[in-house]
Structure 1
Amino acid sequence: MDVPRDELERALRETLSRQAATLRPLAVDPAGLAIRRANRTRRRRTLTGIALAGAATVLVSAGVAQFGAQAGHPTTPTVVLGDPRGATATPAPSLVASPSAGPARSLPGPGGSAVDLIVGTTLRTTGNESIPLGLGAVDRAQRVPDQGGWLVVGGPTAAGRALVSVRPGGSRQVLLAGAEAIALAATGRQVAWRDGDRITLAGIVGDRLVAITSTAAPGPAVPVGFVGDAVLVRLDPTRPGYAVWRPAVGGLSAGPGGAVLAVHGTLPDGRAVGVVSTGTSGRPCLALLDPARNLAVTRTACGPLLDADGFGAVSADGRWLLANGRTGASKAAGALLVDLDTLDGTPVARRAGPALAGVVAWTPARTAGYVDGRGWLVQVRPDRVLAGEQADAAPVSGIDPGGRPVVVTDVGP
């Protein structure tokens, strides 16, 4: 039944007046306030609908324009943030058991893989499940705190990179798409990306990005990781030099990080572990860096010749660094296990296995997994390396020719 608006307003005023008859007079008209709030809400909904319709028109027009762009005149992709309030997550696919950890899977060690793996377009978990991702190439992935699933960063495409949240049941939600570069915090609670001439930072809560802020990106600078709550930025992917961005302090500041060749992680006290060029020869040496002072060097320790390829990671307890390098008279690079408790003198490093060719994933049990140049999965246990044993290495089944698996990093401190 339709009731005229004037009658509804009059009835509301009479009802509220009767309820307030025994109270002291108020400085405002409650009925009028309620009506004005309703009017404002109605206007906001109308304006929001118009804005969304306009945004949809712009996006469609931009898509048509980009598809129609001439070759040789590339257009810059625009990041699109996923909105779980207005979009339905991709339903969970049927989960299947992974091949056993025996010969068919060819994983090293008696217990199979100690880390989750992405093989092709499938996530293989240590719990022996396979989750179809429904994505193309994957650059990297990491676990989410409290067994909340995984965050997956897609490889580069003509439309940019995407960040996807994958739940334990297999459902998927795109958090953002169209980014030039994406970096995740080890905690799984923050993400930074480059879009156009801006670097943007956001928190991750469930399947939603919150507290979004951005700063100008100088030249080809891209986010590559985090040191604490600060975004670690490589100023030029083809040259040495890093910077940090702390939104609470201001914009991106290069500071003294120009001599930094690589940053591999942080210690429990917040200092970063990296490689810097030293002396007139530019010899690469281990260094402890202070993120609060724009990666100022607080200590250097020279010994093993560490590579500046960026591959490597610090264990969660801050005791070990696994990175590429050479020791003694060896000319061939390999994975070195460096004891970070020896940085007061000459760092003690031991050959642990074949050279790293991708991300290193440390587990809570202090086992490190990585992929070597052959595409094999290598697993390193410090206690075995100290005993003079080499790492376990074996191929992974299901890899396409020329492909390689991606190890999934665990949640960091």
Structure 2
Amino acid sequence: MSAVRPPADNRTGRPERSNAVGQDELERALREMLSRQVDMRPAPVLADPADRIVRRAGRARRRRVAAGTAAAAVATALATAALGQFGGPTGGTAGPVVVVVDPDATGAPPGPVDPPTGGPVRAEVDLVVGTTLTSTNGQRVDLTGVGPVERAQRVAGADGWLLVGPETLAGRTLWSVRPGTAPRVLLAGARAIALSPDGRQVAWRDGRELVAAGVVGGQLVATVRVPAPARAVPTGFLGATVVVRPDALRPGYALWRPGAGPVPPGTNHATTAVYGARPGGQLVAQVRSGQTRRACLALLDAARALAPIHTDCAVEISDDGRGVVSPDGRWLLLNGRAAGDGDDRALLVDLTGLGAAAVRPAGPPLTAEASWVSPTAAVYVDGAGELVRVRVDRVLAGEVATGDPVTGVAPGDRPVVVTGSAR
């Protein structure tokens, strides 16, 4: 008879109890283990340590539930208030989206905020340089982990910013940045993102839908979704109305008011770019006109399906669509060619005389978003990565602005001007 070999390890076969252990069983096991340890101690124990641990865990769970419920209530109240901006819950809206975050899930530590020290960058506008956002008063906010920034917008009336990442195969990302807290992702994978001039509204393309929402306390509230044409993208805002390009590959724009129905097809089929708005609801735009289909400046009437009010084809403007309207609606800074110039440069156009507009060379070409820091001064970054300051009085006097280097910029990085960050 052959000998029976002992097992190769200390296992004695199948376990006597199932591996699936419930919470009650774990608590009983914990009590038993700690009780045995207590029996070996020389001093008596006045209270059951296992019971204290179990009760402490229960209190922690109850605190998390209460905190989550409170957060949901606050976010719901904010969403309800912001919904009024979009005309109420009609026309194919989705209910307010409320995200309840586990209070224990703190994520990354708060981004450090330096006190106003002068810093390496000082300008009339907030600037993003590498992994640092520097405000006009020298305050610096760490953006480590955010990644490249293509556009940045200050949120009016709040100490915070919205940052838009570049377009990738996965889409664009929208970040909310507030001093003293870690940057927070509001959107990821959006095809196109448009921000209102005050940073309180955002619209984006999500799959087959156009979506609009308010921004309150660094969160998206009062979300409205509608089906959209296959190539429709939001490009900006006119008040609470979203400016939409129904087909990103063709000229034409439409206006969509969230909460009032689907995106209208639009009857404007000549507009190729929108630079901004003037008081009274007129959009300043670029249109194709005449048999040559040359690019011309135009004022569009928002009350009449964006029909042109005035058109000026005397200004030789670039078709890159870069340009921005001053806060008072009088001045337009854009790329083009002044009389006698052979190369594109930034031009300053007086919109009060559109039809016979006064045009002056203003500086090197715009390569990204520009920001008006006052009704008579604008700041932008040129092709060399330098900061250009355009002052209307000096341009009218014949002076052409030049760029100034920005200190603290690493090789390969480009400063990003934060719009809406006037002093």
TM-score when normalising by structure 1: 0.73
* Cα shift at 1:117: 0.8
Q: Which residue of 79, 83, 87 maps to 2:99?
A: 83
Q: Which residue of 99, 113, 123 maps to 2:133?
A: 123
Q: Which residue of 2 aligns with 1:312?
A: 323
Q: Which residue of 2 aligns with 1:383?
A: 393
Distance in 2 (alpha carbons) for counterparts of 1:113 and 1:238? 37
Q: Which residue of 2 aligns with 1:94?
A: 112
Equivalences, count = 326
SS of residue paired to 1:257: coil
- Indicate conservation of the 8 Å contact 1:302/1:346, yes or no: no
Instruction: Note closer, same or farther for the CA distance 1:191–1:411 as it changes in structure 2 (3 Å cut).
Output: farther
- Indicate conservation of the 8 Å contact 2:127/2:134, yes or no: yes
What amino acid sits opposite 1:184 in the alignment?
L
1:214 aligns with 2:225: yes
SS of residue paired to 1:352: strand
- Indicate conservation of the 8 Å contact 1:131/1:170, yes or no: no
Distance in 1 (alpha carbons) for counterparts of 2:268 and 2:327? 24
> Percent sequence identity over matched residues?
50
- Indicate conservation of the 8 Å contact 2:286/2:321, yes or no: no
1:358 aligns with 2:368: yes
Distance in 2 (alpha carbons) for counterparts of 1:82 and 1:163? 17
Distance in 2 (alpha carbons) for counterparts of 1:303 and 1:170? 50
Distance in 1 (alpha carbons) for counterparts of 2:245 and 2:106? 35
Instruction: Note closer, same or farther for the CA distance 1:170–1:115 as it changes in structure 2 (3 Å cut).
Output: farther
- Indicate conservation of the 8 Å contact 2:113/2:179, yes or no: no
Distance in 2 (alpha carbons) for counterparts of 1:287 and 1:155? 29
Q: What are the Cα deviations for residues 208-262 of structure 1, in whole angstroms up to 9, with x where unaligned?
A: 2222111222122221211222211223444433222123442212323221021
Q: Which residue of 225, 241, 258 maps to 2:252?
A: 241
1:182 aligns with 2:198: no
* Cα shift at 1:267: 0.5
1:269 aligns with 2:280: yes
Distance in 2 (alpha carbons) for counterparts of 1:191 and 1:121? 24
- Indicate conservation of the 8 Å contact 1:253/1:294, yes or no: no
* Cα shift at 1:305: 0.9
- Indicate conservation of the 8 Å contact 1:188/1:411, yes or no: no
Q: Which residue of 278, 283, 296 maps to 2:289?
A: 278
Q: Which residue of 2 aligns with 1:371?
A: 381
Distance in 2 (alpha carbons) for counterparts of 1:131 and 1:297? 43
1:347 aligns with 2:357: yes
Q: Which residue of 1 aligns with 2:160?
A: 149
Q: What are the Cα deviations for residues 248-283 of structure 1, in whole angstroms up to 9, with x where unaligned?
A: 442212323221021010011111111111111112
Q: Which residue of 1 aligns with 2:38?
A: none
* Cα shift at 1:84: 5.9
* Cα shift at 1:115: 0.9
Q: Which residue of 1 aligns with 2:21?
A: none
Distance in 2 (alpha carbons) for counterparts of 1:295 and 1:275? 12
* Cα shift at 1:159: 3.8
Q: What are the Cα deviations for residues 338-368 of structure 1, in whole angstroms up to 9, with x where unaligned?
A: 111112x411110000011010111136321
* Cα shift at 1:302: 2.5
SS of residue paired to 1:215: strand
Instruction: Note closer, same or farther for the CA distance 1:213–1:252 as it changes in structure 2 (3 Å cut).
Output: same
What amino acid sits opposite 1:281 in the alignment?
T
Gaps of 5+ in 2: 1-64, 70-96
* Cα shift at 1:183: 0.8
Distance in 1 (alpha carbons) for counterparts of 2:98 and 2:358? 46
- Indicate conservation of the 8 Å contact 1:84/1:208, yes or no: no
Q: Which residue of 2 aligns with 1:407?
A: 417
* Cα shift at 1:318: 0.7
What amino acid sits opposite 2:218 in the alignment?
D
Instruction: Note closer, same or farther for the CA distance 1:208–1:95 as it changes in structure 2 (3 Å cut).
Output: closer
Instruction: Note closer, same or farther for the CA distance 1:411–1:113 as it changes in structure 2 (3 Å cut).
Output: closer
SS of residue paired to 2:299: strand
Q: Which residue of 120, 123, 138 maps to 2:149?
A: 138
- Indicate conservation of the 8 Å contact 2:376/2:393, yes or no: no
Q: Which residue of 1 aligns with 2:263?
A: 252
Instruction: Note closer, same or farther for the CA distance 1:305–1:170 as it changes in structure 2 (3 Å cut).
Output: farther
- Indicate conservation of the 8 Å contact 2:151/2:416, yes or no: yes
SS of residue paired to 1:202: strand
Alpha-carbon RMSD: 2.6
Distance in 1 (alpha carbons) for counterparts of 2:153 and 2:305? 26
Q: Which residue of 172, 176, 181 maps to 2:183?
A: 172
Distance in 2 (alpha carbons) for counterparts of 1:153 and 1:319? 28
Distance in 2 (alpha carbons) for counterparts of 1:321 and 1:160? 31
